[in-house]
Amino acid sequence: MIKEFLSQQRSMIAKKIEDAEECLLKETKHVSAFSDDAVRWLCQFSLRGKMIRGALVILGSSLYAESISDSAYCVAAALELFQSGLLIHDDIMDNDKIRRGDRSLHHRYTMELANVNNSPEKTGESLAICVGDLAFFAAYKLLADAKISPAILAIISTEYAKVGLAQMDDVYYSSTNKEILLEDVLRVYRYKTGRYTFSLPLAVGAMLAEAPQEDIRLLEGIGELLGQAFQVMDDVIGIMGSSDITGKPEGSDIKEGKRTVLWLLLKDRLELSQQEKILSLWGRDISSYQLNKIRKAIEDLGVLDEIKKMISEWNAEILNNLKALSIDTKKKKILEELVKYNTERSF
């Protein structure tokens, strides 16, 4: 049921993104030689996403409203544009060349400028940063069209400010020899992924439907735990999954030196001699043989079992919080299916 719900919302959210594209093209056509290409690329890139965040806005509203307002769809589309901007900037920071099964934007510009520019990589990154900025301001235009309250706008703005700060920690942790604790990584997950991916859309959707304040608070807490589980599963899929599933090169998290929950659990289980052989591969280009060696260590040392246990404990807390929501059993069932869908993704 939840997969069908999420899929059904894509067309309505996509229509709002396409409307935003046409509006932007008209308003920016004569501004820059890059206007048409940048706007069209941004919107097509947004349309290729799963649109989970946008769909969760609609889900949050549907829990408390008989019908979904046009404002909710505008907010849903805005959150997808915010996501596109974050991904563009994230790919630059991580030097990822593939995103959503195609060239990342900064890499595309770099390739196109290779024979006509003295510093194609730097210029390509700079141009892509500008398109990321375009995504953010196009999103705010959609929020203006939604005519949402200043209180909701403030919540959205504050949540994305937290994403930026958490991203700083994530970048730092990937490039330092300083000891990193599980609580440090989970804090990054909470604010870099969990809250803006789950807490924000669910809570904002509920607010648009004038849900009780206590339910909004509960949905935020549920969203945080869903987000942590989502990111931990992404850690697993990012290393154990194929590029067909991730849309990125295999082992890219290892190449980028990501200090993830999976990395911490693996580190704790490796003997000292194994740490030198396995963990020294983080932050380097690795071969298929080396990637398979890491995968085998993860499986043999019970890291996946520990992750399943961790996620199971979070899910139990989520389901307990669900009971307190002032919605009927049928609607609670939809959220229960979301919990299951979120943590049973295959790699």
Q: Give the 3-state secondary structure of 309-320.
A: HHHHHHHHHHHH
**153 plus 133 within the same structural domain:** no
**Strand 102-103 with 98-99, pairing:** antiparallel
**102 plus 163 within the same structural domain:** no
Instruction: Residue 258: name the closest of 186, 162, 167, 175 by CA.
Output: 175
Final residue of a structural domain among 86, 121, 148:
148
Q: Taking the chain, what is the end-to-end CA distance rounded to the nearest angstrom?
A: 22
- Alpha carbon 257 to chain centroid distance? 19
**141 plus 153 within the same structural domain:** no
So what's the pLDDT on residue 281? 87
Residue 193 gets which letter from DSSP?
A: I
**195 plus 274 within the same structural domain:** yes
State which residues form the domain around 191: 149-347
**43 plus 179 within the same structural domain:** no
pLDDT, averaged in runs of 10, over the chain (347 residues):
83 96 95 96 96 96 95 98 98 92 95 92 97 98 96 97 96 88 94 95 98 97 94 89 72 83 92 82 87 91 94 95 95 93 74
So what's the pLDDT on residue 168? 96
**295 plus 155 within the same structural domain:** yes
**109 plus 223 within the same structural domain:** no
Final residue of a structural domain among 148, 164, 190:
148
Final residue of a structural domain among 91, 120, 148:
148
So what's the pLDDT on residue 4? 83
User: How much is the pTM?
Assistant: 0.90
**157 plus 252 within the same structural domain:** yes
Indicate the number of domains in the chain: 2
Collapsed DSSP state (helix, strand, coil) of residue 284: coil
Q: What is the CATH number of the domain that holds 258?
A: 1.10.600.10
C-alpha dihedral over 6, 12, 14, 16, to 10 degrees? Answer: -140
So what's the pLDDT on residue 2? 80
For the stretch 119-128, contacts whose Cβ atoms lie closer than 8 Å and that sit 24 or more positions apart, written own/partner, are 125/92, 127/34, 128/88, 128/89, 128/91, 128/92, 128/104
**162 plus 122 within the same structural domain:** no
**44 plus 159 within the same structural domain:** no
Measure Cα distances from 88 to 168, 183, 191, 278 in Å: 16, 27, 18, 30
**161 plus 109 within the same structural domain:** no
Is 18 within 8 Å of 81 (Cβ atoms)? no
**310 plus 161 within the same structural domain:** yes
